[in-house]
Amino acid sequence: MTSNAQRLFACGDDLITITVDNPVDAQKLSEYLRLSGEWHEAVAGIDSVVVQFDAALVDLHSAMQMLEGALAQDFIGDDRDDSNYSDDGLVEIPIVYGGEFGPDLDALCDQLGLTRDEFIALHTHDEHRVDMLGFTPGFAYVDGLNETRDVARLAEPRLHVPAGSIGIADGRTGIYSLQGPGGWRLIGRTPLTLFDAHADDPFLLYAGARVRFKAIDKSDA
């Protein structure tokens, strides 16, 4: 077993969780297992992969041994270049910050000791990567905002968060693809359509996508 696969444990009658070091390893491992054709499904999270097997054909112990054998393969190299994980272009996410679109922005700035302009400059300065999609179809978990790692979700989630809302929590940016409930601290909203069930490719973003945020005026949304 490689050092990237740190622990395997059962999480159901036909499910095994594998914890890994980072989201890039999680995506590569899940893809490797899906392509092997030996598993019903392999779903990547931030630092884990959940694997489903056919419990009618394989017992848990045998499934664990199969996974240990798979993990011994050198499909995740220590010399990988994470910057090349996505070969596609950079996706620019325009955002109207604050006001009715980002009702938590001012309180968040107070917590961080930043002015609104300073926070927007921080949020838009660097390129980021989508760690995973989850929660709802197309909801993107975006990495790279360590300054907000101590920002917790709301104690009481909102019952209605508009599609396109941009939230902050636990050092990440969350992008709401659909309207619905949510507890991330809302800092703005993008006019982009993140999920279109009728499109040939319904998702604007995907795990590994490179993104950069851009501040726009309300009139441009």
Domains identified in the chain and CATH numbers: 7-83 (3.30.1360.40), 91-220 (2.40.100.10)
**Residue 12 backbone zone (phi > 0: left; psi -120 to 50: alpha; other: beta):** left
In this structure, the chain runs to a length of 221
Q: What does the pLDDT read at residue 6? A: 55
Cβ atoms 50, 43 nearer than 8 A:
yes
DSSP state of 35: H
Q: What does the pLDDT read at residue 1? A: 39
DSSP letter for each residue of 37-88:
T-SSEEEE-SSEEEEE--TTTS-HHHHHHHHHHHHTS--S-TT--GGGS--S
Q: What does the pLDDT read at residue 35? A: 86
Q: What does the pLDDT read at residue 82? A: 43
Q: What are phi and psi of 181, to 5 degrees?
A: -75, 160
The pLDDT tens digits along the chain (221 residues) read 344 345 898 988 899 999 888 788 888 888 888 888 899 998 888 888 999 999 999 999 999 988 988 887 765 544 434 443 444 578 999 999 999 999 999 999 999 999 999 999 999 999 999 998 988 999 999 998 888 989 999 999 999 999 999 999 999 999 999 999 999 999 999 999 999 999 988 999 988 889 999 999 988 86
Cβ atoms 167, 174 nearer than 8 A:
yes
Cβ atoms 60, 73 nearer than 8 A:
no
How far is the C-alpha of 84 from the C-alpha of 208, rounded, in Å? 9
Closest CA to 55 of 19, 20, 11: 11
Angle, CA 125 vertex, CA 122 and CA 126 arms, to 5°:
115
